[in-house]
Chain A
Amino acid sequence: MSSVVTEIISLGAALKRGAALGAVALVVGCTAPAADLPAEGVNSSVQDPELLAAILEDVRVGWERGDGAPFHEHFLNWEGARYFEGGGQNTGLDDLVVNHVEPEAELGLTLNFTNIQAHFEGDFAWAVVDTEIRLTMPDGRAIHNRGHGTYLFRWVGDAWKVVHTQSASSAVG
């Protein structure tokens, strides 16, 4: 089952100061801690695949250069953020940049995104991309993989922000 946080607000201390109702404990709802991002209305003009493609291009370059700046610009750094690759995951933006982006760039990573397929649903969007990866491991082994990535976006303020990613690839040939 999904994780659930039950928020209990005890009002006992406050009521001792003069409130007339006596000790009360309110159980205020049950919700997942990382869930329920408030929905925002968006103009349909922002449902533009080119906006997502531009973000993905920035992110692709960030991967190749080991540069965290595009990630900090385009990713929503929120408590529930997870980024999956293969069967592994990074928790939060700093973990992704420090433990994944920067080390892979040092291996001479080249990354291509092609065939971007964008889907929009109100203030939410997701994009599926074909990926191609080349790098050289420290032991000299050449890696050439192809695979796919799924990027989830939320419209926040005045821009699409990446809220979740999953990617996987396997060796070519």
Chain B
Amino acid sequence: MTSTMDLLSSNGRTTTGRIAGRTILLALLAAPTALAAQSDENAVVAVVDAYHSALASGDSTTALSLLAEDVTILETGGVEDKEHYRSGHLAGDMRFAQAVPRERSEITVTVSGDVAWAWSTSTTQGRMGDREVNSRGAELMVLSRAGDAWRIRAIHWSSRAVR
């Protein structure tokens, strides 16, 4: 399936008088779609950022509110649902986020209707208790639209030590 945006991208770079009218029409038709897509993308990034901000500030209520009830969380140790995460790794994740600085790459978002996924990479360097931390990581989140809001349905964190 070719989207209107795809057509615009290919035509827009080789505009001629013959196709100018068509291009203008396509542009006008596509603009609202493109703006909506950008709005979705920004909304997804905002949720991801809000989640990390909540962890870093120790705000478990906000962090949990951004997770869907059926969320699946993968990190070192296993697969957790929301209840297990609440009573398990959440507190440790907040302590870690507060103790060890993390530098994150851009978040890349792909929106597919009412679902989106967002990935980023990061470097984490610092000290957690008596443990030196120096690692590179990747984060994947799957989000879906619930009414007007996006909620996190799945998280996968992985990392490896920098040697």
Contacts and interface: CB of A to CB of B under 8 A. Distances in A.
Which size bracket describes the interface of A in this complex?
35 or more
A28 interface: yes
Interface of B: 1, 3, 5, 8-9, 12-13, 15-17, 19-20, 23-24, 27, 30-31, 33-35, 37-38, 41-42, 45, 70, 72, 74, 76, 78-79, 106-115, 117, 119, 121, 135-138, 140, 142, 144, 153-154, 156, 158-160
A40 B1 CA distance: 9
A152 B153 CA distance: 12
Contacts of A84: 119, 138, 140, 158
A30 to B, nearest CB: 5
Contacts, number: 179
A98 B153 CA distance: 32
B15 A14 contact: yes
Contacts of A82: 108, 119
Contacts of B38: 4, 29-31
Given A37-B112, A89-B121, A150 B74 contact: yes
Contacts of B121: 87, 89
Given A11-B24, A15-B20, A26-B27, A164 B112 contact: no
